[in-house]
A and B are shown apart, each in its own frame.
Chain A
Amino acid sequence: MLVLTRKHNQSIIIGNNIEIMIVEIRGDQVKIGIKAPKNVSIYRSEIYEEIMNENKLATEQAAVDKLGAITRMIKPEGEKKEEK
């Protein structure tokens, strides 16, 4: 990982179309301004991690038998008809 030291209002350029600027420094928080083309997605990395964890949880907990109970909860009438 490349590590750079920057001061308030200084910036870095990535490629030739992304600029990242230190807008404000207060205590342990840093406010960052990002100039990038519209087609570049920018997200907080926690969101990626959260979705990644949810994906993993989804595959681990998926089970066919559990779905039966849920289908009954959502469609009680349909199930009753089937039982007849």
Chain B
Amino acid sequence: MKIQSKFFGEIEIEENKIITLVDGMLGFEKLKKYILIPHGQDNMFKWLQSTEDAAVCFLVVEPVSFMFNYSLEIADDVVDRIKIRTPEDVIIYSIVVIPEEPSKISANLCGPIVINAVNRMGAQVISSNPEHQVKHYIIEELKKNTARLMTNFATMVNSGKAIAEKLEKTDEAENKNAALASAATAAENK
């Protein structure tokens, strides 16, 4: 079927790809049908375009793509409503806001969209984790991850060095022992 999109004009979509948000989005309760449009290949961002109103299009991102250790507890009523059977079926998206200063791009972790990939039903939920704020600055989170990786790498290098030193010492000791042993056998042979 053909739909009008906000940024890409008229586009052809497959009907079985349509996502149904059972209660719509907060502030957009009447719009329930959406389609995900990837933003080019290898890009972490996707567009969530309403198929019922061309003007409504959100930029979304999976929190796992920029957050270290992201997890979300999904309430029982949501599990029932969108018929989630296993956690593997769930895809979570955060809605992105791009302000005038693009480096301040932020994702909303307080109100993520939970989608059941099997039946394509979804809901915007409210996270029960108080650390999940309405604005998480994506660039800052990515920098934090890089810093974390660098620290981990430094720790690994240091522990590697320590092990190497220990090995060297044991090697030295073994060499000494070997030298002593060969000296002893030489003395015995005499």
> Do A58 and B26 form a contact, CB below 8 Å, given A38-B76, A71-B43, A74-B139?
no
> Which one of A47, A52, A70 has the highest number of Cβ atoms from chain B below 10 Å of its Cβ?
A70
Contact A57 B97 (CB under 8 A): yes
- Bound-state CA distance A57–B134 (Å) is 12
- Bound-state CA distance A4–B165 (Å) is 77
Chain A: which residue is nearest B6 at the CB level? A62
Residues of chain B contacted by A51 (CB below 8 angstroms): 26-27, 108, 110-111, 124, 126, 134
Residues of chain A contacted by B87 (CB below 8 angstroms): none
Contact B110 A41 (CB under 8 A): no
Contact A66 B126 (CB under 8 A): no
Interface magnitude class on chain A: 20 to 34
Q: Chain A interface secondary structure, helix, strand, loop or mixed? A: helix
Residues of chain A contacted by B139 (CB below 8 angstroms): 70, 73-74
Chain A: which residue is nearest B39 at the CB level? A67
Interface string of B36-68 (1 = CB under 8 A from A): 000100111101000000011111000000000
- B170 on interface, CB distance cutoff 8 Å: no
- Bound-state CA distance A50–B26 (Å) is 10
Contact A62 B110 (CB under 8 A): no
Interface window among B99-107, B153-161, B177-185: B99-107
Residues of chain B contacted by A66 (CB below 8 angstroms): 98, 102
3 nearest A-B residue pairs (beta carbon):
A51-B111, A52-B27, A39-B77
Interface string of A10-22 (1 = CB under 8 A from B): 0000000000000
User: In chain B, residues 68-99, which have Cβ atoms closer than 8 Å to a Cβ of chain A?
Assistant: 75-77, 80, 95-99
- A5 on interface, CB distance cutoff 8 Å: no
> Do A41 and B99 form a contact, CB below 8 Å, given A51-B110, A62-B58?
no
- Bound-state CA distance A61–B96 (Å) is 10
Contact A58 B108 (CB under 8 A): yes
Residues of chain A contacted by B76 (CB below 8 angstroms): 38-39
Q: Which of A47, A54, A70 contacts B95 (CB 8 A)?
A: A54
Interface string of A39-76 (1 = CB under 8 A from B): 11101000110111111111101111011011101100
18 of the cross-chain contacts (CB-CB < 8 Å) are A38-B76, A50-B110, A51-B108, A54-B95, A54-B110, A54-B111, A55-B111, A55-B124, A56-B27, A57-B97, A58-B59, A58-B108, A59-B28, A61-B99, A70-B98, A71-B43, A73-B139, A74-B142
